[in-house]
Amino acid sequence: MVDQPVRIDLGSEIFSADVLQPSVGNRGFDVRKLRPETGYVSFDPGFANTAIARSAVTYIDGAAGQLLYRGYAIEDIASNCSFLEVSFLLLYGSLPNAGELLLWENDVSRHTMLNEEMRSFFDAFPRRAHPMAVLASATYAISTFYDVYRRPTREQEIDAGARTLIAKMPTVAAWAYKKSIGEPYVYPNNEFSYVENFLHMMFSRPTEITPIDPAIVKALNVLLILHADHEMNCSTATVRSVGSSRASMFASVAAGMGALWGPLHGGANQAVIEQLQAIHDDPDATIESTIARAKDRNDEFRLMGFGHRVYTNYDPRAKVLASFAQDVLDRMSIEDPLLDIARDLEAAALADDYFAERKLFPNVDFYSGIIFRALGFPQRMFTVLFSIGRLPGWIAHWVEMNNDPETRIMRPRQIYTGETERAYVPIEDR
């Protein structure tokens, strides 16, 4: 069935907008001609109600708490796939068969090494540098070794860019960590799987190989998959925005990392642990006082790991992680008092009218930090782990945007509220 155009009554005229049909989810209406035909612009801070593209990568039903990657339920994908398999799915649209997966894994593992000159790049940063700053800088730095300053256009170049980023990011992340603790960098080893290799570079030393615990590999694999894509979130919209100027994939992804680092987005996973730790350590920061501060309109403070632009129900990723956290802790024989605090905080928030009325539920960041901690990662690496996970999603969107004939440079409008034209006043007369 084709919907009738949407009619917007502007008083003196009617604007007629064609309806855009999704395969599932919200319909849209096309306002591209609104300003040229009527002089009006639509006002939508934060793009809360604006579709910036048609996309076939990921679908979210926020009210039902449903998340699909290329049509597959996140719960299925997380319990059955490897992270590289999911990367292939996001990038190329379908799950790889056994031969395709083997080729992809080999291809990625053969590109995990950094150019040796990148060592001096890491050496140049101070030890206290936040690994997210190093990660984003290194993403640019890697591009200098390939002379990719513009958008690649040939399919082969695009594939090579995607593979380079996905293959090298764990090496960059592990080296940023090694630098921060003053240990020598550990080189990748192609004997290992993607996740094993990352753990090896993080926790082994040149003098001593740390055995890799299959339980940790499995847990990290699930975590990376849960973070792999989330349609038009802030960092992905940033990647698309930067890429829309025909900037390179590397420049676009580095910009996405900057967006992800913010505490309202991927930086929330670090902030959640800091909040839970404060409740644990500080007698004045109780669960009650934390909830009260989060509700106080005069306080900027928010309950980190709670709330979401799209979900008005439990985030399905958080649902997986809530039970997975206990599982991982049990399997590793770890008792973490922060998990109990997180559970109590969640129960107190869900029972509170403020959170119920606003439909605020735990999001992916609420429990992920507890698991990252249990796996041995320091807090400052949490958003880096999120970045490694989100990388295939960013690239899939960058590629989709580049192939989309409807793409235009991202350039929003404004409602101007400043001074109208006024005469210049010489400095001696001001």
Determine the interface stretch with ligand ACO among 27-35, 236-244, 296-304, 376-384 (rule: CB under 6 A): 296-304
Q: Does residue 358 touch ligand ACO according to CB under 6 A?
A: yes
Size, binding site for ligand ACO by CB under 6 A: 20
Q: Which is nearer to ligand ACO, 304 or 342 (CB)?
A: 304
Q: How far is CA 291 from CA 318, 340, 360, in A?
A: 19, 16, 12
Residues 250-279 that bind ligand ACO (CB under 6 A): 264-266, 268
Give the binding range for ligand ACO (CB under 6 A) out of 36-44, 166-174, 304-312, 333-341: 304-312
Q: Which of 229, 315, 336, 365 is catalytic?
A: 365
Nearest residue to 391 (alpha-carbon basis) of 71, 84, 154: 84
Q: What is the DSSP letter of 205?
A: B
Binding residues among 29-88 for ligand ACO as defined by CB under 6 A: 46
Residue 103's CB: how many other CB atoms inside 10 A?
12
User: Residue 195 CB, nearest distance to ligand ACO (Å)?
Assistant: 21
Give SS3 for 67. Answer: strand
Q: Quote the CA–CA distance of 328 and 317 in Å, as a whole number.
A: 16
State the nearest-atom distance from the C-beta of 358 to ligand ACO, in Å: 4
Give residues 107-146 in contact with ligand ACO (rule: CB under 6 A). none
Stretch binding ligand ACO (CB under 6 A), from 54-62, 90-98, 115-123, 303-311:
303-311
- Quote the strand ranges of 80-129, DSSP E: none
SS3 258: helix
Q: What is the 3-state secondary structure (H, E, C) of 390-416?
A: HHHHHHHHHHHHHHCCCCCCCCCCCCC
Q: How far is CA 33 from CA 16, 53, 137, in A?
A: 9, 16, 39
Closest CA to 47 of 186, 209, 177, 234: 234
Name the active-site residue from 308, 315, 336, 397. 308
Question: In the complex, what is the shortest distance from the CB of residue 354 to ligand ACO, in angstroms, rounded to a whole number?
Answer: 7
Q: Quote the DSSP letter at residue 406.
A: T
Cβ distance to ligand ACO smaller for residue 302 or 331: 302
**Token reading at 263:** 């505490």
- Minimum distance of ligand ACO from residue 128's CB (angstroms): 25
Is 308 one of the annotated active-site residues of the chain? Answer: yes
Binding positions for ligand ACO, 211-240, rule CB under 6 A: 233
Q: How many Å separate Cα 166 from the centre of its chain? A: 14
**Active-site residue list:** 308, 365
| Contacting positions for ligand ACO (CB under 6 A) | 46, 233, 264-266, 268, 294, 302-309, 358, 360, 363-365
